[in-house]
Amino acid sequence: MKKIIFSITAVLIVTVLFAQQKPDRSIRPAAGPAPIIKLGDIQSFDLPNGLKVFVVENHKTPTVAFSIALDFRPALEGDATGTANITSQLLTSGTKSRSKDQLDNDIDFIGATLNASTTGLYASSLKKQQTKLLELMSDVLMNADFKQEELDKIKTQSMSGLATQKDDPDAISGNVKSVLNFGKGHPYGEITTEESVGKITLEKCSTYYKTYFRPNIAYLAVVGDITLAEIKPLIEKYFGAWQKADVPTSTYTMPVAPSKTRVAVVNKAGAVQSVINVTYPVDLKPNSDDVIKARVMNTILGAGFSSRLFLNLREKHGYTYGSYSSLNYDVLVGEFSAYAKVRNSVSDSALTEIMYELNRLRTEKVPQDELDGIKNYLTGNFAISLEDPETVAKFAINIERYHLPKDYYTNYLKNLAAVTADDVYAMAQKYIRPENATILVVGDKEEISKKLERFSASKTIEFYDNYGNISNNVLKPIPNGITSKAVTDAYVKAIGGEKALTAIKDMRLKMTTEIQGRTIKVETQHKAPNKYTMSFNMGPMTIQKQIFDGVKGKQSGMQGNKEITGAELEDLKAEAVMNQEMYYEKLGYKLNLKGIEAVNGSEAYVLDMVSPTGKKSTEWYDVVSGLKVKASSTTTGGEAGPMTQVSEFSDYTAIDGIKYPGSISITGTPMPLKLKLESVDVNKGIKDSEFSVD
């Protein structure tokens, strides 16, 4: 069967607002006195069941917000990783007295918000609806009723999201970074996969809910147009029956940074960009005296458009659209990361500049004008954050939970203003550790690995797969006598044989997929020797259609009509040849059989290809069955930048003696697609008029 190439067009609408007069960015604003912050007095009381309640009055608007935070150490989820997240989604899927639809309608009717997370609940509404809101919130919290049908829906949605991330280099980097920094024996190092979601059961979700959603480890912050006197009896009424229970405490080994700099690479064959992370765990607790000073230091380094990493890698060198850093505190273990996404050709140069900026912060004290500008920026952000009642609620809980001074946030800006260049220097000495970092790069290993060896203390590269498992990076050798042509010949034989395929004079193939709940029909037509159409249709509307009449090509659809010319036309000519795999060499493709590697647990031949127009792609053929199981190609044009599209072929189905993939999963597009085979019509006499470009 001929390989299928889909052209997915992403339409982006960007609105840019320009000020009438641009500010002079070379002049930093002068530092002013620290503003006085008035959060309101935090009043508190405890319920007999152990629930700690904090009340912050704010009478500016007639609204009220309730935020519950659960304070516990997460347990390892093992082969059912993702249970906590799915449980949080189930919490708002219905109670013992309300179905999901009833609950959603009740929330909407009073114009409220009610959200659940793995560690609590948040709800807000107008003050006049607070009693009804508390009724709904307590019902969700204490009377959750998990249903299998809702779990199945959430698992399906989760797997769809994971499919989106499967070939996303940023998602891959995030996963592997977690494993390398924290280890798989730590909850922060566990990765949710399609396999682990498949093992999540209603019983596991119910156990998580019953174990951790308990009042004796909970904090409730109430912020808004209320008083302690009026809210206390309501809290007692709606949360007093919440039953306490012993909550287990998990322990794990404290992750530590590498003893020396190492370089880890995750191969993304064909990728034209590399995702770089310089990262390691840090011991920075929420109640540390270092938190504010460390935030200033990290903001100077990479937490904004005026940060050093951004100005260096983007503005000065043009290596990337943006480069940033983060320094996160956490009650268990924090994390530092410096990030950039760059072209393969400059991956080593970009990394050189990242390491330069890390070391510069450690060896040079920050100039006073730069420090003042960053402190002004952070002051403005903090002041804006106080407009969000959820943030104020978090502040109230943090004071108790992390044993902060009662005036910690009241004095926050004063303490921020007091940060000096010496403080920033001290924080860099303590938390910026390029000599103890993991340099993680996701990209095409053949283009980047040699360039990165010099950054490793051992001058070697460690290779990992997409989930942080060690990969030996060695393709198994090709057995004697196996050539590129032997692999494609085996494929032709596996799907029906050369005689059966050459007997096909015309073919119409129909598949369907869903995009945002809408059914899209994909239809391809071929007529020997070289006529071809491909169309995407939604109902009666044609989204996009390509036609090749044997000489000329045309594209039409929602974005208008255009003639296909140049290299694109040459690719379309090759695409128009039915069962192209039989004719690769005759069509001018250059093939290179590289070796054998695992694809979804089975061994597959890896075949690199270069089209007559120079377009590179890779295909994988199952060693045992001979069937094509995967294909990858990279496009470099378009507003979205370089994109690597990966197609996986499965569920081969025989129709009239020819095998076709019943399912094709495509990632690396603006949204993942899963195409299902609907029908195949062979030798039905398709008219030449179907291929007219006039």
Q: What is the pLDDT of residue 7?
A: 38
pLDDT of residue 641: 54
Direct distance between the N- and C-terminal alpha carbons of the chain, in angstroms, rounded to an integer: 29
pLDDT tens, 285-311?
Answer: 999 999 999 999 999 999 989 999 999
pLDDT band at 37 (very low <50, low <70, confident <90, very high): low
CATH tag for 262-384+399-464 (out of 3.30.830.10, 3.40.50.2300, 3.40.50.620, 3.40.50.12780) = 3.30.830.10
Give residue-wise pLDDT tens across range 650-666.
999 999 999 999 999 88
Q: Cα separation of 689 and 549, whole Å?
A: 9
Residues 188 and 180: beta-carbon distance below 8 Å: no
**pLDDT band for position 21 (cuts 50, 70, 90):** very low
Please give the backbone phi and psi of residue 654, each rounded to the nearest 5 degrees, phi first. -90, 125
Q: How confident is the model at residue 101 (pLDDT cuts 50, 70, 90)?
A: very high
Strand (E) positions, 419-561?
A: 438-443, 461-464, 506-515, 518-527, 531-538, 541-548, 553-557
Phi, psi of 93 (to 5 degrees): -100, 10
DSSP 255: P
Note the pLDDT tens digit of each residue in 594-613.
999 888 889 999 999 999 88
Sign of CA dihedral 246, 247, 252, 254: negative
333: which 2 tokens? 């273990």
- Quick one: pLDDT band at residue 575, thresholds 50, 70, 90? confident
Least confident of 22-36, 555-569, 574-588: 22-36
pLDDT at 635 exceeding the cut of 90: no
The residue with greater pLDDT, 90 or 6, is 90
pLDDT at position 545: 93
In the predicted model, is pLDDT for residue 313 greater than 90?
A: yes
Q: What mean pLDDT do residues 354-383 have?
A: 95
% of the chain residues with pLDDT over 70: 93
Q: What is the mean pLDDT of the chain?
A: 90
Nearest CA to 363 out of 294, 428, 306, 437 is that of 428
Decide if pLDDT at 468 tops 60.
yes
Give the CB-side neighbour count of residue 441, counting CA atoms within 13 A.
32
* Confidence band for 241, pLDDT divided at 50, 70 and 90: very high
Percent over 90 (pLDDT), the chain = 76
Neighbours of 479 (CB within 10 A): 10
* Residue pLDDT, tens place only, 532-551: 999 999 988 889 999 999 99
Is 3.30.70.100 the CATH classification of the domain at 484-691? no
- Fold agreement between 42-174+186-239 and 262-384+399-464: yes
What is the rounded average pLDDT of the residues 482-505? 96
Q: Collapse the DSSP code of 46 into the 3-class scheme (helix H, G, I; strand E, B; otherwise coil) and give the result.
A: strand
For residue 355, the model assigns a pLDDT of 98
Q: Where are the domains of the chain?
A: 42-174+186-239, 262-384+399-464, 484-691
Instruction: Report pLDDT for 232.
Output: 97
Q: Specify the range with the lowest mean pLDDT, choosing from 37-46, 47-56, 316-325.
A: 37-46
Q: What pLDDT, on the 0 to 100 scale, is given for residue 39?
A: 65
- Spatial distance between the Cα atoms of 338 and 438, rounded to a whole number of angstroms: 11
Q: At what angle do helices 347-363 and 445-452 cross, to 10 degrees?
A: 40
CATH class of the 42-174+186-239 domain in this structure? alpha beta
pLDDT at 35: 58
What's the pLDDT tens digit per position in 183-210?
999 999 999 999 999 999 999 999 999 9
pLDDT score of 184: 92
Q: What is the pLDDT of residue 9?
A: 30
Q: Is 236 left (phi over 0), alpha (psi -120 to 50) or beta?
A: alpha
The per-residue pLDDT for range 420-452, each reduced to its tens digit, is 999 999 999 999 999 999 999 999 888 899 999
User: 560 CB contacts (<8 Å, ≥6 apart)?
Assistant: none
Q: Which residue has the tokens 């890896």?
A: 606
Assess whether pLDDT exceeds 70 at residue 34: no
What's the CA gap between 22 and 589, in Å, rounded? 53
Query: What DSSP designation does 144 have?
Result: B
pLDDT of residue 615: 87
Residue 472: what pLDDT? 74
Average pLDDT of span 240-260: 94
Predicted structure pTM score: 0.78
DSSP 96: S
Q: What is the mean pLDDT of residues 105-129?
A: 96
**Exposed (0-12), middle (13-18) or buried (19+): which is 527, by Cβ within 10 Å?**
buried
The strand order across the sheet containing 42-46 reads: 42-46, 52-57, 218-224, 63-70, 120-126, 113-117
